[in-house]
Structure 1
């Protein structure tokens, strides 16, 4: 099954967050780095709906999974 590609900014839109480059950078800088033992959906920066979306994207290897993985990596950098 082929998954559509989603832009990083589209993920932020889907999460109900500002999706311009400066806002994305600020969000990541403000909420990073995540502890190594914390799963992305469990980060305190998400509300319940956002966490559930991220969890489902990862668990179901949904079409959002690749860009969610990119977010995960971005939020682990110091």
Structure 2
């Protein structure tokens, strides 16, 4: 089991996206605010595999869940 501390950067790497701070900020700015009625994993800008990864991470309360929740909070503002 991977017990390393995940960050937004490692989450974006896992999702196959640019993971530097500027790229993350640009992504959040471009796709925010995410309406409350849309779960983060159901947002239209994810690929099917990205959506599945996010959904699985949250449903299984994996070690990714905390950082996915952090991204979700950022996307709501």
User: TM-score, length-normalised on structure 1?
Assistant: 0.93
- Correspondence list, 1:28-43, <5 A: 28-43=28-43
Q: Which runs of 4+ in 1 moved over 4 A?
A: none
SS where residue 74 of structure 1 aligns?
helix
- Residues in 2 aligned to 1:38 and 1:74: alpha-carbon distance in whole angstroms: 14
Match of 2:49 in 1: 49
Task: Quote how far apart the aligned CAs of 1:7 are.
Answer: 1.2
Give the Cα–Cα distance (whole angstroms) in 2 for the partners of residues 16 and 4 of structure 1: 19
Which ranges in structure 1 are unaligned for 5 or more consecutive residues?
A: none
Secondary structure class of the residue paired with 1:45:
coil
TM-score scaled by length of structure 2: 0.94
* C-alpha distance in structure 1 between counterparts of 2:21 and 2:54, whole Å: 20
Give the unaligned 5+ runs of structure 2: none
Count of residues in Structure 1 that have an aligned counterpart in Structure 2: 75
Deviation at 1:4, TM superposition (A): 3.8
